Amino acid sequence: MVSVPGPWHPIPGGVTAPEGFLASGLTAGLKPSGKPDLCLLLAPVGAVCAGSFTTNRVRAACVDLCAERLAATGGRARAVLTNSGQANACTGERGRSDSLRATAALAERLGLPEEQVLICSTGVIGVPIPMPPLLAAMEPLMAGLSDEGGAAAATAILTTDLIDKQIALEASLGSRTVRIGGMAKGSGMIHPAMATMLGYLTCDAGVPAGVWQAMVQRAVDRSFNAITVDGDTSTNDTYLAFAAGEPLSPEHFEALEAGLTAVSQHLARAIARDGEGATCLIEVRVEGAVDEAGARAIARTVCGSSLVKTAIHGRDPNWGRILAAAGRAGVAFDPQAVALWLGEHQLMAAGQPLDFDRPAASAYMQARAAGAYLSDDTIAIRLRVGDGPGSGSAWGCDLSDQYVRINADYTT
């Protein structure tokens, strides 16, 4: 569990925990496996939605459509349809027209303008969505909408993830109660050529669209943009964050942002922990950098290094690989100022290795392997690179031979 800041505390549920949000999920028959594959999330009247999308030049038609519609409406989206099994990327004109048909059919039934309906797809690249079963499932999907539908929705967006990923937080802000919910999928035993990450956040406080968009972007930079499983950016990555409800007093914006950052970080960590073949979560915290962006860049480079990831898989306190990775992050720092900790064990000071207790450091890493999901399985690396004010974190997972076998043996 990510540490929960300030006034926030965890409550049961996910995206339907905030007031007014409805969701449903079912099996439409899109996946050969017969698992749940279609999900609908409906936001209350007046909702604003902030979107964050893959930076890949090759992106799916549904991603283009989401971005266009959020821009055209100033973030006034009300509904998102998500199908899992087919990414609908590299499917040409048909990909675009299928996305338009699906959202048009849903908009008509919901009585909404088409521009307020979004679609996200995840699954195999190059494969179109089977439209007849998708269209046939619209009625039961709408009939299933409920304020307890978050769990079914969180299941229906999965592809080959090992576990559901959802969270809800609650806080008293002034005289009112505010809730934030979230769900995500990604990175677990990824089908080759799968498009990877989807995340959804809901909040029952009203926030001006511009303020909300800026808050969400900062939260994304501190969560999803700070994780890495294998360095490959997918064609479909999407994060959609809805806020709807009585306007929140600006004095509580800072607390709200802390909550949505915590929810985003929980979901991002859950994705990293569920990385292909992973046996532990790696958390790298960099301190003393010139600024936060530089600290995060160093942290993410260390997290993404194949040599660091394999060393951690072998539970080897290999400070040399950590330092070499930090050095190639493209961020200036003085190597002679570096100090490094692994858990409580200090491995370096003033840029040189200390005579640390190697068996104890290895034992710390071994113990993390056996820990409970997202609690005691985190191997914490702390790197101080100077006296600057910038600090930041990144999360990843170890690189195992199982990762190679998963990705080498499977033929699309």
Name the DSSP class of 290: S
Tokens of 69: 């519609």
How far is the C-alpha of 24 from the C-alpha of 42, rounded, in Å?
9
Q: How far is the CB of 66 from a second copy (least distance, A)?
A: 17
Choice from 209, 290, 324, 369 touching a second copy (CB under 8 A): 324
Q: Is 155 annotated as a binding residue?
A: no
Using CB under 8 A as the binding rule, whether residue 16 contacts a second copy is answered as no
Among 14, 25, 304, 396, binds a second copy (CB under 8 A): 304
Applying CB under 8 A, which of residues 1, 6, 9, 58 lies at the interface with a second copy? 58
Taken in order 266, 267, 268, 274, the sign of the CA dihedral is positive
Stretch that binds a second copy, among 261-269, 289-297, 363-371, 404-412 (CB under 8 A): 404-412
- Is residue 202 marked as binding? no
Least distance (Å) between residue 133 CB and a second copy: 23
- Rounded to a whole number of angstroms, the minimum distance from the CB of residue 241 to a second copy is 23
- Residues sharing a CB contact under 8 Å with residue 186, sequence separation 6 or more, in sequence order: 161, 165, 196, 197, 198, 199, 271, 274
Q: What angle do CA 272, 193, 277 make, to 5 degrees?
A: 35
- Scanning 3-11, 68-76, 162-170, 395-403 for contacts with a second copy by CB under 8 A, the matching segment is 395-403
Among 4, 100, 105, 124, binds a second copy (CB under 8 A): 124
Closest to a second copy by CB, 378 or 407: 407
Nearest residue (CB) to a second copy, 263 versus 298: 298
- The b-or-e profile of 391-404 (16+ CB within 10 A means b, else e) is bbbbbbbbbbeebe
Active-site annotation holder among 196, 228, 235, 301: 196
CB 56 within 8 A of CB 218: no
Active site residue 196: yes
Amino acid at 298: I
Helix (H, G, I), strand (E, B) or coil at 216: helix
Chain positions 182 to 241 lying near a second copy, rule: CB under 8 A, are 192-193, 195, 230-235
55 scored as a contact of a second copy (CB under 8 A): yes
3-class secondary-structure state, position 262: helix
Nearest one of 300, 273, 267, 297 to 284, comparing CA atoms: 300
Q: Which residues contact 305 (CB under 8 A, 6 or more apart)?
A: 321, 322, 324, 325
Residue 265, both tokens: 């970080």
- The reply, when asked if residue 276 is annotated as ligand binding, is yes
Using CB under 8 A as the binding rule, whether residue 59 contacts a second copy is answered as yes
Size of the site for a second copy (CB under 8 A): 66
Site of interaction with a second copy (CB under 8 A): 55-59, 89-92, 124-126, 192-193, 195, 230-235, 304-307, 310-311, 313-314, 316, 318-321, 323-329, 331-333, 335-336, 338, 348, 350-353, 362, 399-401, 403-412
Catalytic positions, please? 196
